Structure 1
Protein backbone atom coordinates (compact mmCIF):
# COMPACT_ATOMS: atom_id res chain seq x y z
CA UNK A 1 0.00 0.00 0.00
CA UNK A 2 1.09 3.56 -0.67
CA UNK A 3 -0.11 7.10 0.00
CA UNK A 4 -0.65 9.88 -2.52
CA UNK A 5 -1.14 13.59 -1.89
CA UNK A 6 -1.99 16.01 -4.71
CA UNK A 7 -1.12 19.70 -4.51
CA UNK A 8 -3.60 21.76 -6.55
CA UNK A 9 -4.58 25.43 -6.83
CA UNK A 10 -7.64 24.70 -4.66
CA UNK A 11 -5.67 22.50 -2.23
CA UNK A 12 -2.18 24.07 -2.21
CA UNK A 13 -1.20 22.16 0.95
CA UNK A 14 -2.29 18.91 -0.63
CA UNK A 15 -5.12 16.44 -0.20
CA UNK A 16 -5.06 12.67 0.08
CA UNK A 17 -6.32 10.85 -3.01
CA UNK A 18 -6.60 7.21 -4.04
CA UNK A 19 -3.17 6.12 -5.37
CA UNK A 20 -4.83 3.35 -7.39
CA UNK A 21 -7.31 5.62 -9.20
CA UNK A 22 -6.45 7.70 -12.32
CA UNK A 23 -5.05 11.07 -11.27
CA UNK A 24 -2.95 12.29 -14.21
CA UNK A 25 -4.15 13.55 -17.60
CA UNK A 26 -2.56 11.93 -20.64
CA UNK A 27 -1.88 15.43 -22.00
CA UNK A 28 0.28 16.36 -19.00
CA UNK A 29 3.61 17.62 -20.32
CA UNK A 30 5.41 15.56 -17.72
CA UNK A 31 4.10 12.46 -19.48
CA UNK A 32 4.24 13.74 -23.05
CA UNK A 33 7.67 15.41 -22.86
CA UNK A 34 9.25 14.45 -19.55
CA UNK A 35 9.03 18.14 -18.64
CA UNK A 36 9.28 18.24 -14.88
CA UNK A 37 11.43 17.70 -11.80
CA UNK A 38 11.42 15.40 -8.81
CA UNK A 39 13.08 14.54 -5.52
CA UNK A 40 13.24 11.27 -3.61
CA UNK A 41 13.89 11.18 0.12
CA UNK A 42 13.70 8.84 3.07
CA UNK A 43 11.38 9.11 6.07
CA UNK A 44 12.32 7.39 9.33
CA UNK A 45 10.09 7.32 12.40
CA UNK A 46 7.59 9.53 10.62
CA UNK A 47 10.15 12.23 9.80
CA UNK A 48 11.45 13.20 6.38
CA UNK A 49 15.26 13.24 6.40
CA UNK A 50 17.27 16.09 4.88
CA UNK A 51 14.04 17.83 3.87
CA UNK A 52 15.56 21.31 3.59
CA UNK A 53 18.26 20.07 1.23
CA UNK A 54 15.76 18.20 -0.94
CA UNK A 55 13.37 21.14 -1.16
CA UNK A 56 16.27 23.45 -2.04
CA UNK A 57 17.37 21.09 -4.80
CA UNK A 58 13.80 20.73 -6.06
CA UNK A 59 13.56 24.51 -6.31
CA UNK A 60 16.95 24.73 -8.04
CA UNK A 61 15.95 22.11 -10.61
CA UNK A 62 12.64 23.90 -11.22
CA UNK A 63 14.50 27.17 -11.77
CA UNK A 64 16.72 25.50 -14.37
CA UNK A 65 13.55 24.43 -16.23
CA UNK A 66 11.81 27.82 -15.81
CA UNK A 67 9.14 25.87 -13.96
CA UNK A 68 6.97 27.52 -11.31
CA UNK A 69 6.25 25.14 -8.40
CA UNK A 70 4.63 25.54 -4.97
CA UNK A 71 6.92 26.95 -2.31
CA UNK A 72 8.51 24.91 0.43
CA UNK A 73 5.74 25.53 2.95
CA UNK A 74 3.17 23.86 0.70
CA UNK A 75 5.44 20.90 0.03
CA UNK A 76 6.06 20.50 3.75
CA UNK A 77 2.34 20.51 4.48
CA UNK A 78 1.73 17.91 1.76
CA UNK A 79 4.53 15.72 3.13
CA UNK A 80 3.10 15.92 6.65
CA UNK A 81 -0.30 14.89 5.30
CA UNK A 82 1.27 12.04 3.37
CA UNK A 83 3.27 10.81 6.36
CA UNK A 84 0.13 10.77 8.52
CA UNK A 85 -1.75 8.79 5.88
CA UNK A 86 1.19 6.44 5.38
CA UNK A 87 1.45 5.80 9.14
CA UNK A 88 -2.27 5.09 9.29
CA UNK A 89 -1.79 2.38 6.68
CA UNK A 90 1.60 0.98 7.66
CA UNK A 91 2.41 2.04 11.20
CA UNK A 92 6.00 2.95 12.04
CA UNK A 93 7.60 1.81 8.77
CA UNK A 94 10.35 3.65 6.89
CA UNK A 95 9.01 5.35 3.78
CA UNK A 96 10.28 6.52 0.41
CA UNK A 97 8.86 9.95 -0.41
CA UNK A 98 8.81 11.09 -4.02
CA UNK A 99 8.01 14.72 -4.76
CA UNK A 100 7.10 15.44 -8.39
CA UNK A 101 6.28 18.65 -10.22
CA UNK A 102 5.51 18.76 -13.95
CA UNK A 103 4.67 21.54 -16.41
CA UNK A 104 1.03 20.40 -16.31
CA UNK A 105 -1.24 20.28 -19.33
CA UNK A 106 -0.63 23.90 -20.33
CA UNK A 107 2.83 25.55 -20.53
CA UNK A 108 1.27 28.61 -18.90
CA UNK A 109 0.36 26.56 -15.82
CA UNK A 110 -0.64 25.47 -13.31
CA UNK A 111 1.87 22.69 -12.68
CA UNK A 112 0.90 19.17 -11.69
CA UNK A 113 2.38 18.32 -8.30
CA UNK A 114 2.20 15.40 -5.92
CA UNK A 115 3.90 13.59 -3.05
CA UNK A 116 3.90 9.80 -3.25
CA UNK A 117 4.91 7.59 -0.32
CA UNK A 118 5.67 3.87 -0.29
CA UNK A 119 7.63 1.43 1.91
CA UNK A 120 11.39 1.21 1.40
CA UNK A 121 12.09 -1.69 -1.00
CA UNK A 122 13.91 -4.67 0.45
CA UNK A 123 16.53 -4.42 -2.32
CA UNK A 124 17.80 -1.13 -0.89
CA UNK A 125 18.64 -2.74 2.43
CA UNK A 126 20.09 -5.83 0.75
CA UNK A 127 22.49 -3.84 -1.43
CA UNK A 128 23.50 -1.73 1.54
CA UNK A 129 24.38 -4.88 3.48
CA UNK A 130 26.03 -7.08 0.82
CA UNK A 131 27.62 -4.45 -1.41
CA UNK A 132 27.21 -3.93 -5.14
CA UNK A 133 29.01 -4.69 -8.40
CA UNK A 134 29.10 -1.80 -10.86
CA UNK A 135 30.03 -1.12 -14.47
CA UNK A 136 31.61 2.02 -15.89
CA UNK A 137 29.44 3.47 -18.66
CA UNK A 138 30.31 6.32 -21.03
CA UNK A 139 27.80 9.12 -20.61
CA UNK A 140 28.62 10.58 -24.01
CA UNK A 141 29.37 14.10 -22.74
CA UNK A 142 32.61 15.79 -21.78
CA UNK A 143 33.08 17.05 -18.23
CA UNK A 144 32.69 20.59 -19.62
CA UNK A 145 29.25 19.96 -21.13
CA UNK A 146 27.34 21.42 -18.17
CA UNK A 147 28.93 24.86 -18.65
CA UNK A 148 29.10 24.73 -22.44
CA UNK A 149 25.53 23.47 -22.98
CA UNK A 150 23.32 24.46 -20.02
CA UNK A 151 20.20 23.41 -21.97
CA UNK A 152 21.23 19.79 -21.36
CA UNK A 153 20.13 20.39 -17.76
CA UNK A 154 23.04 18.40 -16.37
CA UNK A 155 23.02 18.76 -12.60
CA UNK A 156 19.22 19.17 -12.48
CA UNK A 157 16.95 16.39 -11.24
CA UNK A 158 14.44 16.19 -14.07
CA UNK A 159 11.90 13.41 -14.60
CA UNK A 160 13.55 12.64 -17.97
CA UNK A 161 15.22 9.56 -16.49
CA UNK A 162 14.93 7.17 -19.45
CA UNK A 163 18.71 7.21 -20.03
CA UNK A 164 19.41 6.53 -16.36
CA UNK A 165 17.02 3.60 -16.31
CA UNK A 166 18.46 2.25 -19.57
CA UNK A 167 21.91 2.38 -17.98
CA UNK A 168 20.69 0.34 -15.01
CA UNK A 169 19.02 -2.22 -17.27
CA UNK A 170 22.23 -2.56 -19.26
CA UNK A 171 24.21 -3.09 -16.05
CA UNK A 172 21.73 -5.72 -14.88
CA UNK A 173 21.97 -7.58 -18.20
CA UNK A 174 25.72 -7.73 -17.71
CA UNK A 175 25.28 -9.21 -14.22
CA UNK A 176 26.05 -5.99 -12.32
CA UNK A 177 23.90 -4.17 -9.77
CA UNK A 178 24.55 -0.57 -10.77
CA UNK A 179 26.66 1.73 -12.92
CA UNK A 180 28.95 4.74 -12.70
CA UNK A 181 28.89 7.23 -15.56
CA UNK A 182 32.20 8.43 -16.98
CA UNK A 183 32.56 11.50 -19.19
CA UNK A 184 33.96 11.31 -22.72
CA UNK A 185 37.18 12.84 -21.37
CA UNK A 186 37.37 10.04 -18.77
CA UNK A 187 36.26 11.76 -15.59
CA UNK A 188 34.18 9.89 -13.03
CA UNK A 189 30.73 11.49 -12.80
CA UNK A 190 27.92 9.79 -10.84
CA UNK A 191 25.65 6.78 -10.73
CA UNK A 192 22.28 6.80 -12.52
CA UNK A 193 20.60 7.42 -9.15
CA UNK A 194 23.53 8.05 -6.82
CA UNK A 195 26.68 9.98 -5.94
CA UNK A 196 30.17 8.43 -6.00
CA UNK A 197 32.11 8.56 -2.75
CA UNK A 198 35.70 7.41 -2.11
CA UNK A 199 37.53 6.99 1.21
CA UNK A 200 41.31 7.02 1.12
CA UNK A 201 44.29 7.80 3.36
CA UNK A 202 46.94 10.33 2.41
CA UNK A 203 49.94 11.09 4.63
CA UNK A 204 48.10 9.50 7.52
CA UNK A 205 44.98 11.65 7.03
CA UNK A 206 41.68 10.03 6.17
CA UNK A 207 39.95 11.72 3.24
CA UNK A 208 36.50 11.49 1.66
CA UNK A 209 36.41 12.44 -2.02
CA UNK A 210 33.56 12.94 -4.49
CA UNK A 211 33.56 14.09 -8.14
CA UNK A 212 33.56 17.75 -9.10
CA UNK A 213 30.12 19.34 -9.21
CA UNK A 214 31.03 21.46 -12.23
CA UNK A 215 31.53 18.27 -14.24
CA UNK A 216 27.74 18.18 -14.65
CA UNK A 217 26.62 15.95 -11.82
CA UNK A 218 23.70 16.32 -9.46
CA UNK A 219 24.61 17.77 -6.07
CA UNK A 220 24.11 14.83 -3.71
CA UNK A 221 22.08 15.54 -0.58
CA UNK A 222 23.37 12.35 1.08
CA UNK A 223 26.97 13.15 0.21
CA UNK A 224 26.51 16.71 1.45
CA UNK A 225 25.09 15.57 4.79
CA UNK A 226 27.90 13.06 5.28
CA UNK A 227 30.59 15.59 4.44
CA UNK A 228 29.19 18.03 7.00
CA UNK A 229 29.56 15.59 9.89
CA UNK A 230 32.66 13.78 8.61
CA UNK A 231 34.68 16.97 8.63
CA UNK A 232 33.76 17.55 12.27
CA UNK A 233 34.85 13.96 12.99
CA UNK A 234 38.31 14.63 11.57
CA UNK A 235 37.97 13.58 7.93
CA UNK A 236 39.54 15.68 5.21
CA UNK A 237 37.24 16.42 2.24
CA UNK A 238 38.04 16.43 -1.47
CA UNK A 239 36.17 17.20 -4.69
CA UNK A 240 37.92 15.49 -7.59
CA UNK A 241 38.52 15.54 -10.44
CA UNK A 242 38.53 11.74 -10.45
CA UNK A 243 39.41 9.26 -13.17
CA UNK A 244 38.46 5.57 -13.28
CA UNK A 245 41.90 4.66 -11.92
CA UNK A 246 41.09 6.67 -8.79
CA UNK A 247 38.39 4.14 -7.89
CA UNK A 248 41.05 1.55 -7.06
CA UNK A 249 43.64 1.30 -4.30
CA UNK A 250 41.54 3.09 -1.70
CA UNK A 251 39.92 2.21 1.62
CA UNK A 252 36.51 1.94 0.00
CA UNK A 253 34.06 3.21 -2.62
CA UNK A 254 30.33 3.77 -2.11
CA UNK A 255 27.32 4.88 -4.11
CA UNK A 256 25.42 7.30 -1.90
CA UNK A 257 21.70 7.99 -2.27
CA UNK A 258 18.82 9.15 -0.12
CA UNK A 259 17.02 5.81 0.25
CA UNK A 260 19.78 3.23 -0.09
CA UNK A 261 22.15 5.49 1.90
CA UNK A 262 25.70 4.11 1.49
CA UNK A 263 26.02 1.02 -0.71
CA UNK A 264 29.62 -0.25 -0.70
CA UNK A 265 31.05 -1.03 -4.13
CA UNK A 266 32.71 -4.44 -4.19
CA UNK A 267 33.78 -4.48 -7.85
CA UNK A 268 34.12 -2.14 -10.83
CA UNK A 269 34.06 -3.76 -14.28
CA UNK A 270 34.78 -7.08 -12.57
CA UNK A 271 37.82 -5.74 -10.70
CA UNK A 272 37.57 -6.16 -6.93
CA UNK A 273 37.28 -3.19 -4.57
CA UNK A 274 38.07 -3.61 -0.85
CA UNK A 275 34.95 -3.53 1.30
CA UNK A 276 35.14 -2.68 5.00
CA UNK A 277 32.02 -3.33 7.01
CA UNK A 278 33.52 -1.31 9.86
CA UNK A 279 34.18 1.72 7.67
CA UNK A 280 30.73 1.50 6.09
CA UNK A 281 29.19 1.38 9.56
CA UNK A 282 31.25 4.37 10.71
CA UNK A 283 30.30 6.50 7.72
CA UNK A 284 26.66 5.44 7.90
CA UNK A 285 26.51 6.49 11.55
CA UNK A 286 28.03 9.85 10.66
CA UNK A 287 25.42 10.22 7.91
CA UNK A 288 22.55 9.33 10.23
CA UNK A 289 23.89 11.77 12.81
CA UNK A 290 23.61 14.51 10.18
CA UNK A 291 20.10 13.53 9.09
CA UNK A 292 18.78 13.47 12.66
CA UNK A 293 19.35 17.22 12.97
Structure 2
Protein backbone atom coordinates (compact mmCIF):
# COMPACT_ATOMS: atom_id res chain seq x y z
CA UNK A 1 0.00 0.00 0.00
CA UNK A 2 1.54 3.28 -1.12
CA UNK A 3 0.86 6.54 0.74
CA UNK A 4 -1.17 9.21 -1.04
CA UNK A 5 -0.35 12.92 -0.98
CA UNK A 6 -2.71 15.74 -1.95
CA UNK A 7 -1.47 19.34 -2.12
CA UNK A 8 -3.80 22.34 -1.83
CA UNK A 9 -2.26 25.03 -4.06
CA UNK A 10 -3.38 28.38 -5.50
CA UNK A 11 -3.85 26.61 -8.85
CA UNK A 12 -5.67 23.66 -7.24
CA UNK A 13 -7.35 25.09 -4.11
CA UNK A 14 -9.35 21.91 -3.47
CA UNK A 15 -6.36 19.64 -3.90
CA UNK A 16 -4.38 17.76 -6.50
CA UNK A 17 -2.76 14.36 -6.02
CA UNK A 18 1.04 14.47 -6.17
CA UNK A 19 3.80 11.87 -5.98
CA UNK A 20 4.82 11.56 -2.30
CA UNK A 21 8.18 10.09 -3.30
CA UNK A 22 9.16 13.29 -5.14
CA UNK A 23 10.08 16.70 -3.64
CA UNK A 24 7.03 18.92 -3.09
CA UNK A 25 8.27 21.64 -0.69
CA UNK A 26 10.90 24.33 -1.15
CA UNK A 27 13.98 24.15 1.04
CA UNK A 28 12.95 27.55 2.39
CA UNK A 29 9.52 26.36 3.53
CA UNK A 30 9.12 27.35 7.17
CA UNK A 31 7.65 23.96 8.04
CA UNK A 32 11.17 22.60 7.53
CA UNK A 33 13.27 25.54 8.66
CA UNK A 34 11.28 26.59 11.74
CA UNK A 35 8.48 24.11 12.38
CA UNK A 36 6.13 27.06 11.76
CA UNK A 37 2.82 25.41 11.07
CA UNK A 38 0.07 23.20 12.46
CA UNK A 39 -1.21 19.70 11.84
CA UNK A 40 -3.84 17.12 12.71
CA UNK A 41 -3.85 13.33 12.42
CA UNK A 42 -7.13 11.48 11.86
CA UNK A 43 -7.94 7.77 11.84
CA UNK A 44 -9.91 6.07 9.05
CA UNK A 45 -11.36 2.78 10.26
CA UNK A 46 -14.48 0.67 9.73
CA UNK A 47 -15.23 2.70 6.61
CA UNK A 48 -15.41 5.99 8.52
CA UNK A 49 -13.16 8.93 9.27
CA UNK A 50 -13.00 9.42 13.02
CA UNK A 51 -13.90 12.78 14.60
CA UNK A 52 -13.31 14.73 11.36
CA UNK A 53 -15.25 17.84 12.42
CA UNK A 54 -13.46 18.02 15.77
CA UNK A 55 -10.05 17.72 14.12
CA UNK A 56 -10.86 20.41 11.55
CA UNK A 57 -12.09 22.76 14.28
CA UNK A 58 -8.89 22.18 16.23
CA UNK A 59 -6.82 22.79 13.09
CA UNK A 60 -8.58 26.14 12.69
CA UNK A 61 -7.95 26.98 16.36
CA UNK A 62 -4.27 26.10 16.18
CA UNK A 63 -3.85 28.14 12.99
CA UNK A 64 -5.56 31.11 14.61
CA UNK A 65 -3.17 30.92 17.57
CA UNK A 66 -0.25 31.15 15.11
CA UNK A 67 -1.83 33.91 13.02
CA UNK A 68 -1.75 31.47 10.12
CA UNK A 69 -4.29 31.75 7.29
CA UNK A 70 -5.29 28.28 6.08
CA UNK A 71 -7.84 26.96 3.59
CA UNK A 72 -11.46 26.73 4.78
CA UNK A 73 -12.75 23.43 6.11
CA UNK A 74 -14.68 22.66 2.94
CA UNK A 75 -11.45 22.60 0.93
CA UNK A 76 -9.76 20.34 3.45
CA UNK A 77 -12.75 18.01 3.28
CA UNK A 78 -12.54 17.85 -0.51
CA UNK A 79 -8.81 17.13 -0.38
CA UNK A 80 -9.37 14.43 2.25
CA UNK A 81 -11.97 12.73 0.04
CA UNK A 82 -9.56 12.86 -2.89
CA UNK A 83 -6.72 11.35 -0.86
CA UNK A 84 -8.82 8.68 0.82
CA UNK A 85 -10.45 7.75 -2.47
CA UNK A 86 -7.07 7.14 -4.08
CA UNK A 87 -5.83 5.20 -1.07
CA UNK A 88 -8.92 2.98 -0.83
CA UNK A 89 -8.75 2.29 -4.57
CA UNK A 90 -5.54 0.42 -3.72
CA UNK A 91 -6.68 -1.25 -0.54
CA UNK A 92 -10.46 -1.61 -0.36
CA UNK A 93 -12.88 0.04 2.09
CA UNK A 94 -11.90 -2.21 5.02
CA UNK A 95 -8.39 -0.76 5.20
CA UNK A 96 -7.18 1.38 8.08
CA UNK A 97 -5.38 4.64 7.40
CA UNK A 98 -3.99 7.69 9.10
CA UNK A 99 -4.93 10.97 7.45
CA UNK A 100 -2.55 13.81 8.28
CA UNK A 101 -3.47 17.43 7.55
CA UNK A 102 -0.53 19.84 7.50
CA UNK A 103 -0.50 23.62 7.15
CA UNK A 104 2.82 25.48 6.91
CA UNK A 105 3.48 29.20 6.70
CA UNK A 106 5.41 28.34 3.55
CA UNK A 107 8.54 30.16 2.29
CA UNK A 108 9.09 33.65 3.62
CA UNK A 109 8.31 35.24 0.27
CA UNK A 110 5.56 32.87 -0.87
CA UNK A 111 2.14 31.46 -0.05
CA UNK A 112 1.48 28.87 2.64
CA UNK A 113 1.92 25.16 2.00
CA UNK A 114 -0.99 22.83 2.71
CA UNK A 115 -1.31 19.11 2.20
CA UNK A 116 -3.12 15.89 3.12
CA UNK A 117 -1.11 12.69 3.56
CA UNK A 118 -2.88 9.32 3.72
CA UNK A 119 -0.88 6.28 4.81
CA UNK A 120 -1.48 2.79 6.23
CA UNK A 121 -1.85 2.45 9.99
CA UNK A 122 1.25 0.90 11.48
CA UNK A 123 -0.14 -1.61 13.93
CA UNK A 124 2.66 -2.10 16.44
CA UNK A 125 2.75 -3.00 20.10
CA UNK A 126 2.48 0.70 20.85
CA UNK A 127 -1.06 0.84 19.46
CA UNK A 128 -2.61 -1.94 21.56
CA UNK A 129 -1.78 -1.75 25.26
CA UNK A 130 -4.34 -3.26 27.62
CA UNK A 131 -4.05 -3.98 31.35
CA UNK A 132 -2.13 -7.19 30.62
CA UNK A 133 0.67 -5.39 28.73
CA UNK A 134 0.27 -1.79 29.78
CA UNK A 135 2.55 1.16 29.18
CA UNK A 136 5.53 1.96 31.38
CA UNK A 137 5.56 5.74 31.72
CA UNK A 138 7.95 8.35 33.09
CA UNK A 139 6.86 11.69 34.53
CA UNK A 140 8.89 14.45 32.88
CA UNK A 141 9.05 18.13 33.86
CA UNK A 142 7.68 20.27 31.00
CA UNK A 143 9.78 23.19 32.20
CA UNK A 144 7.05 25.67 33.11
CA UNK A 145 4.52 26.12 35.90
CA UNK A 146 0.75 25.69 35.70
CA UNK A 147 0.15 29.42 35.13
CA UNK A 148 2.51 29.80 32.18
CA UNK A 149 -0.14 29.30 29.48
CA UNK A 150 -2.14 32.32 30.68
CA UNK A 151 0.94 34.37 31.45
CA UNK A 152 2.74 33.68 28.16
CA UNK A 153 0.29 32.90 25.33
CA UNK A 154 3.15 33.10 22.79
CA UNK A 155 4.26 29.69 24.07
CA UNK A 156 1.33 28.29 22.04
CA UNK A 157 0.79 25.71 24.76
CA UNK A 158 -2.67 24.68 23.55
CA UNK A 159 -1.95 24.62 19.81
CA UNK A 160 -1.01 21.53 17.80
CA UNK A 161 2.04 22.91 16.03
CA UNK A 162 4.68 21.27 13.84
CA UNK A 163 7.30 22.12 16.51
CA UNK A 164 7.36 18.61 17.99
CA UNK A 165 11.09 18.28 18.69
CA UNK A 166 10.55 18.47 22.48
CA UNK A 167 7.74 15.90 22.32
CA UNK A 168 9.87 13.46 20.34
CA UNK A 169 12.84 14.06 22.65
CA UNK A 170 10.63 13.21 25.64
CA UNK A 171 9.61 9.90 24.07
CA UNK A 172 13.22 9.07 23.20
CA UNK A 173 14.26 9.87 26.77
CA UNK A 174 11.56 7.55 28.10
CA UNK A 175 12.60 4.71 25.79
CA UNK A 176 16.26 5.01 26.74
CA UNK A 177 15.26 4.86 30.42
CA UNK A 178 13.30 1.58 30.34
CA UNK A 179 9.88 3.12 29.63
CA UNK A 180 7.44 3.23 26.72
CA UNK A 181 6.18 6.80 26.93
CA UNK A 182 6.02 9.90 29.08
CA UNK A 183 3.58 12.18 30.86
CA UNK A 184 4.51 15.84 31.17
CA UNK A 185 4.05 17.62 34.50
CA UNK A 186 4.48 21.30 35.33
CA UNK A 187 7.30 22.52 37.51
CA UNK A 188 4.75 23.01 40.32
CA UNK A 189 3.47 19.46 40.08
CA UNK A 190 0.38 19.49 37.84
CA UNK A 191 -0.25 16.67 35.39
CA UNK A 192 -0.42 17.88 31.78
CA UNK A 193 -0.48 15.37 28.88
CA UNK A 194 1.66 12.86 27.02
CA UNK A 195 3.94 13.96 24.16
CA UNK A 196 1.37 12.65 21.66
CA UNK A 197 -1.61 11.85 23.86
CA UNK A 198 -4.09 13.00 26.48
CA UNK A 199 -4.17 11.62 30.02
CA UNK A 200 -7.24 10.01 31.60
CA UNK A 201 -7.72 8.39 34.96
CA UNK A 202 -10.66 6.59 36.54
CA UNK A 203 -11.65 6.24 40.17
CA UNK A 204 -14.21 3.91 41.70
CA UNK A 205 -16.14 5.34 44.66
CA UNK A 206 -17.27 3.37 47.72
CA UNK A 207 -20.77 3.22 46.22
CA UNK A 208 -19.47 1.81 42.94
CA UNK A 209 -19.64 5.14 41.10
CA UNK A 210 -16.94 5.54 38.45
CA UNK A 211 -15.44 8.98 37.78
CA UNK A 212 -13.35 9.69 34.68
CA UNK A 213 -10.94 12.61 35.04
CA UNK A 214 -8.55 14.50 32.78
CA UNK A 215 -6.26 17.50 33.45
CA UNK A 216 -7.77 20.96 33.11
CA UNK A 217 -7.22 22.81 29.84
CA UNK A 218 -6.20 26.00 31.65
CA UNK A 219 -2.71 24.61 32.14
CA UNK A 220 -2.21 24.94 28.37
CA UNK A 221 -2.67 21.36 27.23
CA UNK A 222 -4.10 20.43 23.85
CA UNK A 223 -7.84 19.84 23.82
CA UNK A 224 -7.84 16.14 22.92
CA UNK A 225 -10.37 14.90 20.38
CA UNK A 226 -10.04 11.33 21.69
CA UNK A 227 -10.33 12.59 25.26
CA UNK A 228 -13.63 14.24 24.31
CA UNK A 229 -14.78 11.01 22.64
CA UNK A 230 -13.81 9.05 25.77
CA UNK A 231 -15.93 11.41 27.86
CA UNK A 232 -18.88 10.63 25.55
CA UNK A 233 -18.30 6.90 26.14
CA UNK A 234 -18.10 7.46 29.89
CA UNK A 235 -21.27 9.53 29.92
CA UNK A 236 -23.16 6.77 28.11
CA UNK A 237 -21.80 4.23 30.61
CA UNK A 238 -23.15 6.29 33.50
CA UNK A 239 -19.77 7.44 34.76
CA UNK A 240 -19.22 10.85 36.27
CA UNK A 241 -16.85 13.26 34.53
CA UNK A 242 -14.37 15.80 35.77
CA UNK A 243 -11.36 17.98 34.98
CA UNK A 244 -8.27 18.45 37.20
CA UNK A 245 -6.25 19.88 38.69
CA UNK A 246 -4.46 16.54 38.88
CA UNK A 247 -1.14 15.70 40.48
CA UNK A 248 1.12 12.64 40.18
CA UNK A 249 -0.42 11.36 43.43
CA UNK A 250 -3.82 11.20 41.71
CA UNK A 251 -2.29 9.01 38.99
CA UNK A 252 -0.70 6.65 41.50
CA UNK A 253 -3.93 6.33 43.51
CA UNK A 254 -6.26 5.86 40.51
CA UNK A 255 -8.03 2.62 39.65
CA UNK A 256 -7.02 3.01 36.00
CA UNK A 257 -4.85 5.38 33.93
CA UNK A 258 -4.78 5.73 30.15
CA UNK A 259 -2.98 7.63 27.43
CA UNK A 260 -5.46 8.28 24.61
CA UNK A 261 -4.84 9.50 21.06
CA UNK A 262 -6.43 9.39 17.63
CA UNK A 263 -4.60 6.33 16.29
CA UNK A 264 -3.78 4.43 19.47
CA UNK A 265 -7.20 5.17 21.04
CA UNK A 266 -6.88 4.09 24.72
CA UNK A 267 -3.63 2.56 26.02
CA UNK A 268 -3.58 1.43 29.64
CA UNK A 269 -0.75 2.65 31.87
CA UNK A 270 0.48 0.07 34.38
CA UNK A 271 3.73 1.59 35.65
CA UNK A 272 4.76 5.17 36.44
CA UNK A 273 8.35 6.04 37.33
CA UNK A 274 9.03 2.37 37.98
CA UNK A 275 6.09 1.98 40.37
CA UNK A 276 3.07 -0.19 39.45
CA UNK A 277 -0.33 1.49 39.12
CA UNK A 278 -3.73 -0.14 39.04
CA UNK A 279 -5.29 -1.23 35.76
CA UNK A 280 -8.98 -2.17 35.75
CA UNK A 281 -9.82 -4.68 32.96
CA UNK A 282 -13.56 -3.98 33.18
CA UNK A 283 -13.20 -0.22 32.85
CA UNK A 284 -10.63 -0.65 30.09
CA UNK A 285 -12.98 -2.86 28.09
CA UNK A 286 -15.84 -0.38 28.43
CA UNK A 287 -13.65 2.50 27.29
CA UNK A 288 -11.97 0.69 24.38
CA UNK A 289 -15.20 -0.91 23.13
CA UNK A 290 -17.01 2.41 23.34
CA UNK A 291 -14.32 4.26 21.42
CA UNK A 292 -14.21 1.56 18.76
CA UNK A 293 -18.00 1.66 18.38
CA UNK A 294 -17.84 5.38 17.63
CA UNK A 295 -15.82 4.75 14.49
Structure 1 Cα separation of the partners of residues 133 and 67 of structure 2: 41
Q: Which residue of 2 aligns with 1:147?
A: 150
Deviation at 1:228, TM superposition (A): 2.1
Q: CA separation in 2, counterparts of 1:191 and 1:202?
A: 26
Q: Does residue 137 of structure 1 match 2:158? A: no
Instruction: Please say if residues 128 and 264 of structure 2, whose CA atoms lie closer than 8 Å, have aligned partners that are also in contact.
Output: no
Q: Distance in 2 between matches of 1:89 and 1:281?
A: 33
Following the alignment from structure 1 to structure 2, what is the Cα–Cα distance between the partners of residues 250 and 188?
13
Q: 1:105 aligns with which of 107, 124, 128?
A: 107
Moved over 6 A (4+): none
Please give the alpha-carbon distance, in whole angstroms, between the structure 2 residues aligned to 1:230 and 1:11.
42
> Structure 1 residue 191 and structure 2 residue 167: aligned?
no
On the 8 A contact 2:36/2:105 being kept in 1, the answer is yes
SS at match of 1:133: strand
Separation of aligned partners in 1, 2:47 and 2:248: 39
User: Which segment drifts farther, 244-253 or 224-233?
Assistant: 224-233
| Residue 97 of structure 1: how far off its partner (Å) | 1.0
Q: Aligned-pair distance for 1:279? A: 1.9
Query: In the alignment, which residue of structure 2 is the partner of 1:228?
Result: 232
- Map 1:256-267 → 2, pairs under 5 A: 256-267=260-271
Q: Determine if contact 1:209/1:240 at 8 Å carries over to the other structure.
A: yes
Query: In structure 2, the residue corresponding to 1:10 is in which secondary structure?
Result: coil
Shift of 1:120: 1.1
* Residues 26-66 of structure 1 deviation map (CA, whole Å, 9 limit, x = unaligned): 10011111100000110113421000000000000000000
- Deviation at 1:131? 1.9
Displacement of 1:203 in angstroms is 4.2
Number of aligned residue pairs: give it.
290
In the TM superposition, residue 72 of structure 1 has moved relative to its aligned partner by: 0.6
Deviations 1:113-135 (A, max 9, x none): 11111111122434357321100
Alpha-carbon separation, structure 1, partners of 2:253 and 2:155: 34
TM-score scaled by length of structure 1: 0.95
With normalisation by structure 2, the TM-score equals 0.95
CA contact (8 A) 1:46 1:87 kept: no
Q: Is the 8 A contact 2:42 2:98 kept in 1?
A: yes
Match of 2:292 in 1: 288
CA RMSD of aligned residues (A): 1.4
Check whether the contact 2:128–2:267 (CA below 8 A) recurs between aligned residues. no
Q: In 2, Cα distance between the equivalents of 1:233 and 1:274?
A: 20
Spell out, residue by residue over 1:213-236, the C-alpha distance to the aligned partner (whole angstroms, 9 max, x if none). 001100000010111232132110
- Of stretches 128-137 and 143-152 in structure 1, the one that deviates more from structure 2 is 128-137
What is the alpha-carbon distance in structure 1 between the residues aligned to residue 123 and residue 178 of structure 2? 19
Report the alpha carbon displacement of residue 3 of structure 1 after superposing the two structures with TM: 1.0
> Following superposition of structure 1 onto structure 2, how do residues 73-92 of structure 1 map, counting pairs within 5 Å?
73-91=74-92, 92=94
Aligned to 1:173: 176
Aligned to 1:208: 212
Residue aligning to 1:245: 249
Report the secondary structure of 2:70's partner residue. coil
Asked if the contact 2:63/2:70 (under 8 Å) is kept, the reply is yes
